[in-house]
């Protein structure tokens, strides 16, 4: 079962992401801020990380940069899930090493599919692909 670490400061959205990804067959660890999420990475050993750009304590971009600078975790794919949709934000995240970028509001099934795609590219296990339609988050 793939391990997903997710960080978002919005409690409701964080819970939605956790529930949907658990339903898709992932083991999910969720955190309300960037510093706590980054500190948990060695213990969680995630297969993929989902980060908001605007996190308390440490921004998602700062977490991403710290991960990519660490030889032990630079290989972990990171998907940015954020309401920041400006070209500068998208390009900054991709240049910093994000594997994907998804703008809120989003379709939970789209997030599941993007995670599955990233994990498949990384050669991490067979994924549970979501079925059916769902409303935007």
Could you read off the pLDDT of 60-86 as tens digits, one per residue? 999 999 999 999 999 999 999 999 999
pLDDT digits (tens, 9 = 90+) for 10-22: 999 999 999 999 9
In tens, the pLDDT along 27-65 reads 999 999 999 999 999 999 999 999 999 999 999 999 999
pLDDT exceeds 60 at position 131: no
Q: Is 29 in a helix, a strand, or coil?
A: strand
Per-residue confidence at 122, pLDDT binned at 50, 70, 90?
Answer: confident
Domain range summary for the chain, segments of one domain joined by +: 3-121
Average pLDDT along the chain:
90
Q: Which of 3.30.70.890, 3.90.550.10, 3.40.50.2300, 3.40.50.720 is the CATH number of 3-121?
A: 3.40.50.2300
Question: Residue 133, class by beta-carbon neighbours within 10 Å (0-12 exposed, 13-18 middle, 19+ buried)?
Answer: exposed
């Amino acid at each position: 079962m793939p391990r997903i670490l997710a960080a978002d400061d919005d409690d409701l959205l964080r819970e939605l992401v956790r529930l949907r990804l658990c339903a898709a067959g992932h083991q999910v660890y969720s955190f309300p801020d960037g510093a706590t999420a980054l500190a948990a990475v060695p213990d969680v050993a995630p297969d993929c990380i989902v980060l908001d750009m605007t996190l308390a304590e440490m921004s998602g971009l700062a977490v991403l940069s710290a991960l990519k600078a660490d030889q032990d975790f630079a290989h972990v794919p990171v998907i940015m899930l954020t309401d920041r949709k400006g070209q500068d934000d998208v390009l900054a995240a991709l240049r910093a090493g994000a594997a994907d970028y998804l703008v809120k509001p989003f379709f939970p099934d789209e997030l599941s599919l993007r995670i599955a795609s990233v994990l498949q590219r990384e050669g991490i296990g067979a994924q549970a692909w979501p079925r059916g339609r769902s409303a935007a988050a």
